[in-house]
Amino acid sequence: MDRKWWTLIAVCTGVFMLLLDITIVNVALPQIERAFKASLADLQWVIDAYALTLAALLLTAGSIADLAGRRLVFAVGIVIFTLGSALCGLAPSSLFLSLSRALQGIGGAIMFATSLALLAQAFEPRERGVAFAAFGAVTGIAVAIGPVLGGAITSGLSWRWIFFVNVPIGIVALTITRLRVEESRLPGAPRPDAAGFITFSLALTGLVFGLIRSQAAGWGSFEVVGSFAAAAALLAAFIATELRVSQPMFDLRLLRVPTFNGGLMAAWALSASIFSLITYLVIYFQDLLGYSAVAAGVRFLPMTGATFLVAGIAGRLTTKVQIRYLIGGGFALVTAGLLLMRGLTAADSWTHFLPGFIVAGVGTGLVNVPLASTAVGVVSAQRAGMASGINSTLRQVGIATGVASLGAILTSMVRSQIVSQLAHTPLAAHAHALATTISNGGISAALDGVPHRSQILIAAAARASYVDALNTILLVAAGVTLAGMVAALVAIRQRDFHHVRDQAADDLVAVAAGA
């Protein structure tokens, strides 16, 4: 078999693993919570540690690959990701798991940043359409089946196996990469922007840390206020650095193009809303409705399946409908879907979410594909890779900040609502302590050693509180998607797109169309 097809197999295998691990972990969170008696903040870090390192390293990894060799760097990424997966599976504590997830994110960023360059090198321009369509399809499938596959593995084996399964796959991908993939470099490639990478990474970490710690330490605590202040200072340092260096990782001149800004806002809003919410919906399905991991994963299929199917239609519509109307219309549907999910009561079953899942899934499919055009369709070929990388980075930033922010709101509401629910019961004197225990260690921690009658009261209060909080963060998420819709309709302009499409931009858009 020709080397180009081996390259496609290696790249698709590696990227399938890293994208699968964005969604596959969600359905295992309740099992991880019970295994380590983890708090909600601990579970947030399991998600955000991966998203943070993935977001922080995406742009820098591409520069390193151009300089040191794309095959070499891609292989290093596979090794780091596979090692991180093995450590996740062996984790003895939630802290160890989060640190291992961060290592996974580093490997994932390296693989993702290098993948398109390897394909572009292996395939002639006339053949790239097939390669990128296959790559895009693999990315779409990975995101779509993540919850179901994660649920099946967790229910059939253990949550640890959602990580262990990556080890043999990673070994196969590494073997193919070393034996069958050709090395390539970019002559005269600039050195990575180390100062930009450090300031951006620390700023993002400070912001997320402050959001996650806000409920345990208090919004006005030195720990939280200091984290936010440090994040603001580091972000200012990042901007100053990017304006000064000759080869920045983020060329701030791109922000002069309104369409590019609208695309960044849309990328962040989609991840900070519907994708971040999945974490808390999974916890509700398993901890409060009592579904197994696989049963919970199957119930997300209407949403992920709709997204996958509509993405193909959206790819064809991009040549007939203005991009801003596709993205704006998609966000309108996601907003409608989130509002349909609201109104949940403690007596409702999972079918309450079904109409909202389908409508939001259709809207997400409409947004995802044309969103790539807002990054690469408004820049020259020389900056298409950077523009695409920045857009992908904002998606991961959306996950990190969305999970942290929605979790902070949910935790605060659950605590106050539990106190209110138990105020007129025999447990009123212990309401504050029980609220803290539930928000830190889950319902099971609050039920340990408690008489049966009290268990019933606590469980009922916890369920009612979580339902109220879930309705609130659904409304917050709808507000975020509404802002994304406005940004798309106002900022994205047809005249910003290049009339003569260059090959680099066409290649990157083909990836999204394949998904």
pLDDT in tens, 366-398: 888 787 777 666 766 556 667 777 877 888 888
More confident residue, 232 or 191: 232
**At residue 337, does pLDDT exceed 90?**
yes
Residue 172 near residue 76, CB atoms below 8 Å = no
**How much is the pLDDT for 464?**
77
Mean pLDDT of 144-151: 79
**At residue 473, does pLDDT exceed 60?**
yes
**How much is the pLDDT for 342?**
92
More confident residue, 438 or 160: 160
CA contacts within 13 A on the Cβ side of 357: 17
Residue 372 near residue 505, CB atoms below 8 Å = no
**How much is the pLDDT for 513?**
46
Residue 143 near residue 22, CB atoms below 8 Å = yes
Q: Which of 68-72, 137-141, 485-489, 511-515 has the lowest mean pLDDT?
A: 511-515
Residue 55 near residue 107, CB atoms below 8 Å = no
CATH of domain 1-187: 1.20.1250.20
Mean pLDDT of 144-161: 83
CA contacts within 13 A on the Cβ side of 74: 32
**How much is the pLDDT for 44?**
83
More confident residue, 8 or 384: 8
**How much is the pLDDT for 495?**
74
Question: How large is the angle between the packed helices 128-156 and 301-317, nearest 10 degrees?
Answer: 170
**How much is the pLDDT for 383?**
63
Res. 453 pLDDT band, cuts 50 70 90:
low
**At residue 140, does pLDDT exceed 60?**
yes
Q: What percent of the chain shows pLDDT beyond 90?
A: 18
**How much is the pLDDT for 256?**
84
Q: What is the pLDDT of residues 454-466, one digit of tens each?
A: 556 666 667 777 8
Res. 345 pLDDT band, cuts 50 70 90:
confident
Res. 437 pLDDT band, cuts 50 70 90:
low
More confident residue, 80 or 242: 80
**How much is the pLDDT for 476?**
95
Q: Which of 157-161, 182-186, 302-306, 356-360 has the lowest mean pLDDT?
A: 182-186
- For the chain, the C-alpha Rg in angstroms (whole number) is 23
Please calculate the CA angle 493-494-499 and round it to the nearest 5 degrees.
Answer: 135
Q: Which of 26-40, 304-318, 367-381 has the lowest mean pLDDT?
A: 367-381
Mean pLDDT of 267-271: 90
Res. 429 pLDDT band, cuts 50 70 90:
low
**At residue 141, does pLDDT exceed 50?**
yes
DSSP state of 286: I
CB neighbours (10 Å) of residue 500? 5
- Mean pLDDT (the chain) is 81
Res. 42 pLDDT band, cuts 50 70 90:
confident
Please calculate the CA angle 365-491-329 and round it to the nearest 5 degrees.
Answer: 30
**How much is the pLDDT for 500?**
42
Res. 435 pLDDT band, cuts 50 70 90:
low
Q: What is the pLDDT of residues 164-223, one digit of tens each?
A: 989 999 999 999 988 888 887 766 667 777 888 888 888 888 888 888 777 667 777 888
- Of 257, 255, 218, 279, the residue nearest 494 (C-alpha): 257
**How much is the pLDDT for 96?**
94
Residue 263 near residue 371, CB atoms below 8 Å = yes
**How much is the pLDDT for 89?**
92
Rounded CA separation 450/469 (Å): 25
More confident residue, 483 or 16: 483
- Of 373, 309, 396, 381, the residue nearest 108 (C-alpha): 396
- Of 54, 74, 58, the residue nearest 115 (C-alpha): 74
Res. 76 pLDDT band, cuts 50 70 90:
very high
Q: Which helix (H) or strand (E) holds 139?
A: helix 128-156
Please give the span between the terminal C-alpha atoms of the chain, in angstroms, as a whole number: 25
**How much is the pLDDT for 477?**
94
**At residue 331, does pLDDT exceed 90?**
yes
**At residue 90, does pLDDT exceed 90?**
yes
Q: In the chain, how long is the greatest CA-to-CA distance?
A: 74
pTM higher than the cut 0.85: no
